[in-house]
Structures are given as structure tokens and as C-alpha cells.
A and B are shown apart, each in its own frame.
Chain A
């Protein structure tokens, strides 16, 4: 019963998300375009599938994945787990956080593979490129980028180095890669930075960032907890262009 209540809440929230889009499309169809929508019934059924599917997906995540992810992030970043019980730590030792980096990388990879918006973009890219861009190839490449990004982001939180150093260097790499990468991959690579961070990744990653910056000595969650998502959006751009460059080199 309690679950039904939760599900209803999420379902209504999803409906509210869709509402502006539905109104916008309906308004434009009725007043600006004044044309009937082809296959209207099919489109409406598809729309219902999207809303119900997303609501079920989110409800399931809240039931299963998020609590688990939060508990695990808290346990792994617990000083008692990292340094052994009873030790008093004043200065964080970045070498002691190996499991955190690994967890960050793996959870980044895994959640990206399951990210619905990335599935959507990979589907479109494969359709548009007539199969040259492989759906799974793109998704795995993006996931590797996110994994590296989140891992690097946790390293930043542990060491307390400024965010903009990393972002500046990352942007510089993107600029240099843009000059050499095949032209056809560039828009898709830029897009893959934006799609990685939605439903699945953001809540888990934010919990990891805030949890970590709350337990690492000398870190302030207000200042250091943010920024993980920025890593998760930057690194896939690099990995997607890098993969395309590798493929290009291989061809020659």
C-alpha cells in the first residue's frame, strides 16, 4: 500500500514533467501548424508508455538502487573503513581512498549504461549514421568517460584541489581534440556530455560527492560536494572523440 502511494507520487511528478511539453506540442499543432498529427493514436500510446515506463523506472530506482547506493557510498567513505577504527585523522591521505576511486568509476560506468537519455541518443545516432555508429560502442565509450570522470572527481574532493584546474585542462583537451577528430563525430561527442547526467547518475553521484566531502577531513560539503557532475559531463566528450580518433588511425 505504501509502495502504491510512492508510485503514485512519482507518476504524478513524471506527468508534471511531461505536461509543459505536451501543452507546447498540442498548442503548436492546434494553433500554429493546424495540421493533424500523423499516426496520432500510435504517438499517444507511445507517450503513455514513456510516462508510465519512466515512472516505474524511477520508482524501482528509489526502492532498490538509491538507498543501496547511498549506504554504500557512506560506508566506503567512512573514515573507520578507510583508515581502520580508532584512528584520528587530521589530514586526508589520498592514497588511502583506493576503494572510493574504484567504486566511483564502477558506479559511474554502470549507471551510464542504464541511463535512458543516453539510450535514446545512441539509438538516434545509430539510425542517422545508418549503423556506422554502433549503439553499444557509443554507450560503452561514454560510460568509460563517465567512469574516469567521476573517479577523478572523487580524487579532487579527497585532495581538495580547485575544480577549475581540472575543468580548464579538460576544456583544453577538448579544444585540441576538436581540431584533429573526424568532423562527423564532433556534435555527437559534445552532446554525449549532456546526456550522461540525468535520472540514474545524478542522484547517486551527488550522494557520493556530498557524503565524501562530509567525511574527508578538511572538506566542506558546501564547497567541495558540488562539481562531480561537471566531471561526468566533460570526460565523455573526450572519450567519444578519442575513440573516433583511434578508429580513424586504425583505418589508415
Chain B
């Protein structure tokens, strides 16, 4: 019974990874025409990926989804708006501020800004710039989840907020310095990590299912969209303030 279950889970994970294997095989064999380097390591790594993905999905179903929904239900039951909003902001801020992808991007962005002559070429000013960028992004993600939660409670249609955000992004892009634009757009993508996304999705769905008149599909989703949009606006703003 258990063996059967494990095999079926492993099968799913292999299906998930099949496209990557096919793409690499195709390019190695047909286009680049060379044998795969370090075949043994690649196979071993592939095996780890399959086992890891299987465990991860199992853990989602058992731990991350239920705790997210349970928290949302409990906070809704408690009926305290301010605690709910504090939780939303803290969740967005704390999961973003230490995100390795963000630290990497902030460091790179500081080097680009220094090369472009926008900030001083010294360790202190580089660190300061990178740290400021990280704080800006983390704050913006916290704010995004907070606004997203208010939206679920009030039942505002998501498209007005998102399209309004896009308009702001476009207007700011026109006046922002060129060195910050690419980084700003990418900052939106790196903030939502693999552990945050399922938790945030579960919280959205849990919250919308415990408030009367909200539909989980219409109102529950959308938190991640805010968390991807808000950092773009704030990083563009950061660039405008620092550089002008």
C-alpha cells in the first residue's frame, strides 16, 4: 500500500522533470553534438531532484497548506483587523528581507549603479545602497500582502488595483534612470520564494473562504500578484529618490 503510494508520487515527480531532461538531451545530442559532461553527477543530481520534489509536494499537502488556511481561519474568527494586517505585513516583510535571490540582486545592482557613476565607488556606499534596496523591496512586499488582505476583506475587484499599479509603473519608468529599470522589473520576480508562495496562496484561500460573500477563486488568489507588482513601484521610486 505505502510502496504503491510512494511509487505513484515518484512517478508524478519524474513527469514534472521529464521536459528538462528532454530539452537538455536534445540540445546536447542534436545541436551541440557532444557527450554530456559528468554523466554520473548529473544522474545523481537528477535523482535528488526527484526525491526532493516528491517530499516537497507531500509536505505541502500535510503542513504548509493546512497551517496557512488554519491561520487565516483563526485570524478571521478572532475578528481583529489590526492583528490580521500586522500578520500580513510581517509575513511579506520577514520572508523577503533575508531572501538570498534578493541579496544577490541587490549586490549586483549596487555594482551597476557604481559603474554607472550614480553612487560612489566605495564599499560603504555600495553596502548602503544594497541594504537600502533590500529594505525597500521587503517593505514593499509587506505592504503588498497587507493591501491584498484588505482587498479580500472588502471584496474589491483585483483588476482595478493591478491595472492602476501598471499605470504607475509605466509612468515611473519614463522618468526613472535607466540603470534601475531592469533591476526594478526583475525585483518583482525574485520576491516570491518557493515557501512563501504556497503559504500566501493558502492564506488567501483560507481568508476568502471564512468571510461571507467572498469566493476563494475570485478573491482568494491575487496576493502573489500584489507581491510581484509592488516591489517594481518601490524600486523605481528608490532609484528616483537616490539618484535625483
Contacts and interface: CB of A to CB of B under 8 A. Distances in A.
Contact of B62 (A42, A113, A120, A228): A42
B55 to A, nearest CB: 3
B94 interface: yes
Interface in B146-199: 158-159, 162-163, 166, 169-170, 173-174, 178-179, 181-183, 185-186, 188-190, 192-199
Interface in A105-157: 106-107, 109-111, 113-114, 116-117, 119-121, 123-125, 128-129, 143
Contacts of A55: 52
B172 to A, nearest CB: 10
B218 interface: yes
Contacts of B54: 53
Contacts of B221: 121, 125, 187-188, 190-191
Contact of B37 (A61, A71, A109): A71
Interface residues of A, number: 103
B16 A114 contact: yes
A221 B82 CA distance: 45
A48 B20 contact: no
B20 A21 contact: no
B17 A120 contact: no
Nearest to B24: A68
A114 B228 contact: no
Interface in A23-70: 23-25, 28-29, 32-33, 35, 37-39, 42-65, 67-69
Contact of B56 (A45, A50, A111): A50
Given A47-B64, A114-B49, A194-B192, 10 more contacts: A33-B78, A48-B59, A61-B45, A164-B181, A167-B169, A190-B221, A195-B192, A197-B189, A198-B192, A202-B190
